[in-house]
Structure 1
């Protein structure tokens, strides 16, 4: 597993205090188990750069993540593969207790991108996914229908409050 972490000294030694990266990464099973709607991550590529600003003592990481996540179908619970592609800029401080809430504090003067990358992916998990061609369940006296079927059945239905008007005939 590639950890995508750098120390402050590594960033200072890099040309222009910038390190570029482009890696395929894998994720811990333990992390995946923490997120109930995420079954697997495949072909996850992380690219970008991290720059250390000497004057502010902040490291700014520009991260681009893309890959495939496997999530459960909302109806059948079968696996569904969903592609994702997201980007973010993350700021890391080498000082203890940074004042800004949007700044990550480094541990042992080391910037580690793995937690931020995992959080970016978690934010991309769709709320609802329906597998193409899924058979909707039905039982005795009930059935699940698609939204299109529901709307088309409602078109032909007459409002019960107005149903009596159908029998009304105008006499001349």
Structure 2
């Protein structure tokens, strides 16, 4: 399952090794992250290319996760559509300059030379979860949690309240001036 022997991939010298699988990763995703409540089947489609001692992966991942709203903890369906490119350093022959052009370079174990895209798929799904997730209603109405004698306000609202409370000291002196005039009359 998304795990291939390097020799099998190397047989595809002139064309890419193509794959497409539909996986149920719900257990793996919910075990690795408490932020994942549920997951639809994951469609993984990609290619592996041989390139001078490297195996380059180009993988597209599609699924829908159910995650809690970061504001209310209500469940939110979050579509995930990620493209991942990684380089597997198979023969350890690539020099540093050659490796710098890739975002991720994964060394391949000499004793067990396999290309494991499975773990990469799980990692990249989890990395695609944003830090702020809201329900549609929370997004549209900008609803903030509140309770008896308390409420959560946005940073913008906080700053505007702070500006309203800030009194210019020059005007504060004038305020006392009018109080003195009332006493004289």
TM-score by length of 1: 0.74
Report which of the two has the higher share of strand: 1
**Is the CA contact (8 Å cut-off) linking 1:97 and 1:105 kept in structure 2?**
no
**Is the CA contact (8 Å cut-off) linking 1:136 and 1:143 kept in structure 2?**
yes
- Structure 1 stretches of 4+ with a deviation exceeding 6 A read 96-99
In the alignment, the residues of structure 1 paired with residue 53 and residue 76 of structure 2 have an alpha-carbon distance, to the nearest angstrom, of 43
1:79-100 residue CA offsets vs partner (Å, 9 max, x unmatched): 1111222212111133479876
Gaps of 5+ in 2: 179-185
Gaps of 5+ in 1: none
In structure 2, the CA distance between the partners of 1:113 and 1:45, relative to structure 1 (3 Å rule), is: same
Query: Cα RMSD over matched residues?
Result: 3.3
Matched, 1:60 2:60: no
1:90 alignment partner, SS class: strand
Indicate the structure (1 or 2) with the bigger Cα radius of gyration. Answer: 2
- Residue 34 (structure 2) aligned to one of 25, 33, 36: 36
Matches within 5 A, 1:1-172: 3-14=1-12, 16=14, 18-27=16-25, 29-53=27-51, 56-95=52-91, 102-107=104-109, 108-134=112-138, 136-146=144-154, 150=157, 154=161, 157-162=164-169, 164=172, 167=175
